[in-house]
Chains A and B, each alone.
Chain A
Amino acid sequence: MSLQAQSSEVVIENLGLSFGDTQVLKGIDLTIKAGEFFSFLGPSGSGKSTLLRAIAGFGPEPTGRILIGGQDVAKLPPWERNVGMVFQSYALWPHMTVAKNVAFGLEERKVARAQIDKRVKQALDLVDLADFGERRPSQLSGGQQQRVALARTIIIEPRVLLLDEPLSNLDANLRVQMRGDILALQKKLNLTTIFVTHDQEEANTTSVRMAVLNHGILQQVGAPMELYDAPANRFVASFLGTANILEGEVRTNGQLTAFLSSGGLQIPIRQGADSITAIAIRPQNISLHTPGGGTSEAELRFKAVVSDIEFLGSTLRYAVKTGQETMLVDHVHEPGDRVFALEEQVDMAIVPDHVTLLRG
């Protein structure tokens, strides 16, 4: 495959960026390994797209450094960076055919005509659009347009591939398929790829590692499962999936160290975690039982009352009140299972090992 790109490492050092007086990125430090599939995940307004655009050279000039394959590109204009970007809207030029669109980058690089034609054909082959070269972008479906945008970008053999919410304009089924296609292409070309999304499922299923951003600040970096299981702060805990977050403080009483929530729940924790200000428990890590069982070291039990029930299909989500706290509890739904009723007295069971301690 001649479209094999030289994959490069991306290092971001102390990156800051402002729109006028508004600082939208603050002190970002990040290393994306060569050939890695990496995601920027965050809610809208978190700065994830701004960060991606800064790597491509769009938007206000940032402070700090952006090293691609060791070269600082932070001050270079977009056209000298050789990073490929696929835009959220695809940005295919409507006045050119598909083939013309794909050929554009090579034409700008003054590649010989015969060579351009050959590589355009290869690129379109690669995205399964070999027969669509003479069509106009407007004659293609959303998914096809997406693939043209990919072909147009990878043909220049970029050092990094940047994808700005590339799946957000596709319908649900196509999104899953396209996700797979992009991943397969990335593996084939071994391209360092940065993927911006607000959809955690997309990030989880594609990325080797990901970075969670909020308010322009990097919250946590790691493999998807790491981030889910050990969120570093309240934001990451609640943004990735659902979590019961209990505010409170650590109390030590003789031998016993425990977290006392402001709602009155007391959960023993290991010693030396004095700076903890909150804990997180996932709904699926809590279970409800008919009253009567006792508390043990491995499983804590609290008296609770069912205050709400939602049927979500694969799960039943209860809201239960215990003390002043309201907790969400997920039970996997199986036909014939006992379903607790509203206002029913239950025992709520928590495994201390499943409790995440939060500092930030």
Chain B
Amino acid sequence: MSVLSKSERGPAAAGLLIAVLLALFLLIPVLKVIYVAFLDPHTGELTLLNFQDFFASSLFRESFYNSLFVATMSVVFASIIALPLAYFTTRFNFSGAIIIQTLGIIPLIMPPFVGAVAMKLLFGSNGSVNLLLEQYFGINIPFMEGLNGVILVESIHYFPFILINLSAALINIDRSMEESAQNLGSHGFRMFRRIVFPLAMPGYLAGAALVFIKVVDDLGTPLLLDVNKMLAPQAYLRITSIGISDPMGYVISVILIAFSLLSLYVSLMAMKGRDYATTQKGGGGLSKRDLKPMEKVATYGLVLFILVIVLSPHVGLLLLSFGTVWSFAVLPDGYTFAHYIKVASEASQYITNTLLYAGIAALFDVILGTAIAYIVYRTKLTGRKWLDYGATMALAVPGVVLGIGYLRTFYSVDVPFADQPLATWWVIIVIALTVRRLPYALRSCVAAIQQVSVMLEESAENLGATKGRTVMRIVVPLMSGGILAGFVTSFATASVELSATIMLVSRESDAPLAFGIYEFMQSASGRGPGAALGMIAVVLVGLGTYFSHKIIERTEKSRASARPVNEEAKA
């Protein structure tokens, strides 16, 4: 490598520091987990024995198949929900489109495990729906029995990933694609099957792969539904009950990583060379038509039905948080504020901890995200792309795996003055959240920096500003909308993270909100307060999502008004 110019020294130092941090808190823990999975626990030699043991055990084999089954079926059901919604919004002039857009986000503002218990009360064998079904039809449908429950909760929670990706893909298809098919004699469902859907396929696959991996990685939902024979719960139970020296947790981690990489590969392959976004200038998306009256009734009916199902965890949680006793009844016996009062007096540390942890994590995320975005897009430093890849890699690392990796790697690292291992210090939770949410903040920052014309920086330098001053006075202010959106996204999602933190919480006083909800929900008497905490989380994340939306919208607007100037500059 050639000698760095003066203006490259600062970014180079920052890049090096980020690389070290990523290595320390992402790469090494993950490699450690993989390494231990191949280590004989007694002799310390490299071996495949652990994997043999894993597949020799009927419990683990069953867990493996259950995870695969649940993830696959969740994708199927999520597709069944998402396909009609995507189809209606992109094909018809349909005033329900805005409902569907909102619908697309609502499930995501609450982690699936939060609604799991409420879903049991609504759809369980003694839940509201089955009580009604028994009363009127004499039937009982096992919606929530065993794996069914996990599939139901996961698919109604994660279908928006398919909806969003598929809708975007459909919108990006140029009208002429469809018109030329009609011109050549094709129409209706046959045309949809031969032309429209294949063109939207990459978007669908990307969404489906995301749903698959999210379901495989989810820990809280199966645990709260008492389904332990799945991969993530098994890993958690082995580590927490037997200890961090038991190799099975590591073997499962390796399998989870493999699944992650596989679905990432599938979605990459789906997109590769098939950027079917074909819209031409002035062409516009698929042509929309008006619904006939009968179609309108049927469409609204279907959308309403899906809406009810999708919102049921939220409704259930709301009822649970205000309900006195809710057992063997369609609705709670009475309503009270007691749970919220109890939470406020006894469990406020969960909330303050969460605000602190998620706040610090999100702050570090946008600082790192901005630095990485600047280094990747504004410097010519060797290996700069690897910072981006490295940070994005966190997406492929399941929370359970990161948690196990931290425990294993940092148990032997003592923190000076705190007099305890790093692995049990509260700061490790913050670090885990920072690493897990860094990809979100990074994408926001990258999008923001790509909007900033290099010429704006060059003119600052031309007028005598140094690189550092230019970054502070021009680049960061212009990126502020994107940075803020990144902060809010990281903050909101970090405040309900469970799968990594659940492994790292060593004492109640350090625990964040998601952990508190999980703890409460485990006992029948704790459900009310747990639900109240859950509602607080929903409001927190909901507000965050709303504001990040607003921020992005506002930035886009102000950019749109500034655009003509940019284009003149280009010409």
Contacts and interface: CB of A to CB of B under 8 A. Distances in A.
B201 A95 contact: yes
Interface string B196-221: 00110100000000000000000000
B180 interface: yes
Given A89-B176, A91-B176, A95-B276, A108 B183 contact: no
Contacts of B278: 89, 94
A138 B275 CA distance: 10
A352 interface: no
Given A87-B176, A88-B280, A93 B195 contact: yes
Given A89-B176, A95-B276, A152 B199 contact: no
Contacts of A83: 183
B186 A94 contact: no
Given A95-B276, A156-B184, 4 more contacts: A56-B183, A77-B187, A83-B183, A95-B201
Nearest to B279: A89
B280 A94 contact: no
Residue picked from B182, B194, B199, B276, most chain A C-beta under 10 Å = B182
B187 to A, nearest CB: 4
A104 B183 contact: no
A57 B187 CA distance: 13
A95 B204 CA distance: 15
A79 B177 contact: no
A27 interface: no
A95 B199 CA distance: 7
B274 interface: yes
Q: Which of B180, B182, B278 has the most CB of A within 10 A?
A: B180
A22 B162 CA distance: 38
Contacts of B182: 57-58, 77-79
A119 to B, nearest CB: 13
Contacts of B176: 87-89, 91
A108 B179 contact: no
- Secondary structure class of chain A's binding surface, majority of residues: loop
Interface string A242-271: 000000000000000000000000000000
25 contacts: A56-B183, A58-B182, A58-B287, A77-B182, A78-B179, A78-B183, A79-B186, A82-B185, A83-B183, A87-B179, A87-B180, A89-B176, A89-B280, A91-B176, A93-B177, A93-B198, A95-B198, A95-B274, A104-B194, A105-B184, A108-B186, A138-B273, A152-B180, A153-B184, A156-B184
Given A85-B180, A95-B199, A95-B276, A108 B174 contact: no
B276 A104 contact: no
Contacts of B174: 89, 91
B29 to A, nearest CB: 41
A109 B450 CA distance: 48
Contacts of A108: 184-186, 190
Interface in B267-292: 273-274, 276, 278, 280, 283, 287
Contacts of B393: none
A42 interface: no
Contacts, number: 76
Contacts of A81: 183
A84 interface: yes
B192 to A, nearest CB: 13
Interface string A66-98: 000000000001111111110111010111000
B181 interface: yes
Which of A84, A95, A104 has its CB near the most chain B CB atoms (within 10 A)?
Answer: A95
Contacts of B273: 138
Nearest to B280: A89
B178 to A, nearest CB: 9
A89 B185 CA distance: 19
Contact of B186 (A91, A104, A152, A153): A104
A81 B180 CA distance: 13
The 6 closest A-B CB pairs, nearest first, are A105-B184, A91-B176, A78-B182, A108-B185, A91-B180, A87-B176
A85 B201 contact: no
A56 B187 CA distance: 14
Contacts of A88: 176, 280
Contacts of B184: 79, 84, 104-105, 108, 152-153, 156
Contacts of A105: 184-185
Interface string A143-156: 00000000011001
B197 to A, nearest CB: 10
Interface string B37-79: 0000000000000000000000000000000000000000000
Contacts of A91: 174, 176-177, 179-180
Given A78-B179, A87-B179, A87-B180, A93 B199 contact: yes
Nearest to B278: A94
A154 to B, nearest CB: 11
